């Protein structure tokens, strides 16, 4: 009887408004567990980001809260741009959702999980193997899961490298690495400031550029992928950008027999890459 009353009294004390408010404050201060959806390469807070820049950490991009005019954030932005790092204005709610510490102070840096290669590195890898270059160019793939899947397929198909743009594209984050099942450690990935200029450079190096498009002028099975080739995969929503499409030697369409007229970007990349594998073998 007394024991039951004691339990009831403790429950009533716990349920008081001031106790509930105190518990809420404690829960807010307590760090949230890191989930699989969180990128492991996140660096939060002004001092942490400044130190990462000073130490030469390989940073993929820096997000700064939109509308902030703080001198420290301005210093971070200018230093990052001098180092060629992409700086993006982001909504504060996005930073809040990304934050694991709840004290991002208006800035989050996303560190790349490995160094980027150069286009020359990719072409050199093909020469060292004595093979015709096979390169995948991703035109603004923003979904890291799609990019990871493309990298995984490229590694399995024996492609010599991936090329992505600096802006409006997923980078080599921890999510990409996980989705690629480790393939990101074996396939060189180059990041270039201008895809159109890069395609022109690849043409000068003797590569033929094949763009994937629903209304392409060449059926996939009629395309000659045995020679030096760059396969361009467009973005998830709108496909290849106009300038990129105009700089393709051929636009290739995948035969569609069902009621839908398009494939996921990573699925399209797999089909084109393995047609190249079939022809080359």
User: For the domain that residue 172 is a member of, what is the CATH number?
Assistant: 3.40.1280.10
CB 181 within 8 A of CB 110: no
DSSP 182-207: TGGGTS-EEEES-HHHHHHHHHHTT-
The answer to whether residues 55 and 177 belong to one domain is no
- At 191-246, the pLDDT tens digits run 999 999 999 999 999 999 999 988 888 999 999 999 999 999 998 778 899 999 99
User: Is pLDDT at 22 greater than 80 in this prediction?
Assistant: no
Short-list 235, 194, 196, CA closest to 212: 235
The answer to whether residues 149 and 183 belong to one domain is yes
Short-list 190, 71, 96, 216, CA closest to 136: 190
Instruction: Tell me whether residue 158 is in a domain.
Output: yes
- At 156-189, the pLDDT tens digits run 999 999 999 988 888 888 888 889 998 988 999 9
User: Is pLDDT at 120 greater than 90 in this prediction?
Assistant: yes
Instruction: Tell me whether residue 24 is in a domain.
Output: no
Contacts with 31 (C-beta within 8 Å, 6 or more apart), sequence order: 100, 101, 102
What local confidence, expressed as pLDDT, does residue 223 receive? 93
The answer to whether residues 255 and 191 belong to one domain is yes
CA angle 134, 270, 217 (to 5 degrees): 75
What local confidence, expressed as pLDDT, does residue 30 receive? 42
Domain containing residue 105: CATH number:
3.30.1330.30
> 6 or 148: whose pLDDT is higher?
148
Instruction: Tell me whether residue 22 is in a domain.
Output: no
- Note down the domain range covering 212: 119-280
Instruction: Tell me whether residue 7 is in a domain.
Output: no
The answer to whether residues 133 and 210 belong to one domain is yes
What local confidence, expressed as pLDDT, does residue 34 receive? 35
User: Is pLDDT at 23 greater than 90 in this prediction?
Assistant: no
Name the residue with tokens 């990871």.
Answer: 148
CA–CA dist 226, 108 (Å, integer): 44
What local confidence, expressed as pLDDT, does residue 10 receive? 53
The answer to whether residues 141 and 210 belong to one domain is yes
The answer to whether residues 100 and 141 belong to one domain is no
The answer to whether residues 135 and 214 belong to one domain is yes
Strand 189-192 versus strand 59-65 pairing type: unpaired
Instruction: Tell me whether residue 21 is in a domain.
Output: no
Instruction: Tell me whether residue 132 is in a domain.
Output: yes
**CB-side neighbour CA atoms (13 Å) of 76:** 31
What local confidence, expressed as pLDDT, does residue 36 receive? 33
User: Is pLDDT at 18 greater than 70 in this prediction?
Assistant: no
Q: How many CB atoms lie within 10 A of CB 186?
A: 11
CA–CA dist 221, 215 (Å, integer): 14
CA–CA dist 231, 275 (Å, integer): 11
Instruction: Tell me whether residue 5 is in a domain.
Output: no
Cα Dmax for the chain: 90
CA–CA dist 55, 51 (Å, integer): 6
CB 161 within 8 A of CB 135: yes
Contacts with 169 (C-beta within 8 Å, 6 or more apart), sequence order: 138, 140, 141, 142, 147, 191
What local confidence, expressed as pLDDT, does residue 42 receive? 85
Which of 111, 136, 167 represents a domain boundary (last residue)?
111
Query: How many domains does the structure of the chain reveal?
Result: 2
Helix H or strand E segment including 253? strand 250-253
The answer to whether residues 50 and 179 belong to one domain is no
Which of 111, 134, 161 represents a domain boundary (last residue)?
111
- Determine the average pLDDT of the residues in 118-143: 94
- Please give the sequence-ordered ranges of beta strands (E in DSSP) within 25-94, or none if there are none: 42-44, 59-65, 86-90
- At 28-78, the pLDDT tens digits run 444 333 333 334 578 888 988 998 898 888 888 899 999 888 888 999 999
Query: What strands, in cross-sheet order, belong to the sheet with 107-111?
Result: 42-44, 107-111, 59-65, 86-90
The answer to whether residues 188 and 220 belong to one domain is yes
Instruction: Tell me whether residue 131 is in a domain.
Output: yes
The answer to whether residues 188 and 240 belong to one domain is yes
Tokens of 12: 């009533």
Which of 84, 111, 138 represents a domain boundary (last residue)?
111
What local confidence, expressed as pLDDT, does residue 39 receive? 44
The answer to whether residues 97 and 163 belong to one domain is no
Using 50, 70 and 90 to split pLDDT, how confident is the model at 146? very high
Provide the H-helix boundaries in 221-264.
242-246
DSSP 36: T
> 235 or 153: whose pLDDT is higher?
153
The answer to whether residues 125 and 100 belong to one domain is no
């Amino acid at each position: 009887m007394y024991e039951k009353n004691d339990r009831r009294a403790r429950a009533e004390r716990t349920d008081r408004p001031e106790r509930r408010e105190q518990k809420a404050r404690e829960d807010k201060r307590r760090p949230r567990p890191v989930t699989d959806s969180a990128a492991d390469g996140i660096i939060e807070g002004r001092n942490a980001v400044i130190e990462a820049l000073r130490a030469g950490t390989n940073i993929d991009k820096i997000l700064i809260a939109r509308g902030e005019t703080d001198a420290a954030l301005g210093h971070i932005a200018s230093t990052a741009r001098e180092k060629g790092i992409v700086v993006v204005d982001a909504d504060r709610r996005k930073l809040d959702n990304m934050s694991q510490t709840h004290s991002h102070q208006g800035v989050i840096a996303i560190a790349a999980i490995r160094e980027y290669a150069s286009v020359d590195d990719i072409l050199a890898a093909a020469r060292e193997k004595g093979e015709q270059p096979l390169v995948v160019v991703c035109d603004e793939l923003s979904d890291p899961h799609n990019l990871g899947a493309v990298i995984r397929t490229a590694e399995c198909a024996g492609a010599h490298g991936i090329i992505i743009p600096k802006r409006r594209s997923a980078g080599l984050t921890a999510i990409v690495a996980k989705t690629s099942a480790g393939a990101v450690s074996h396939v060189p990935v180059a990041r270039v400031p201008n895809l159109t200029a890069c395609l022109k450079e690849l043409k000068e190096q003797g590569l033929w550029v094949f763009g994937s498009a629903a209304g392409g002028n060449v059926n996939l099975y009629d395309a000659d992928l045995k020679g030096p080739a760059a396969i361009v995969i467009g973005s998830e929503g709108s496909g290849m950008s106009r300038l990129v499409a105009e700089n393709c030697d051929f636009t290739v369409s995948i035969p569609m027999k069902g009621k839908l007229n398009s494939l996921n970007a990573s699925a399209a990349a797999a089909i084109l890459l393995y047609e190249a594998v079939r022809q080359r073998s």
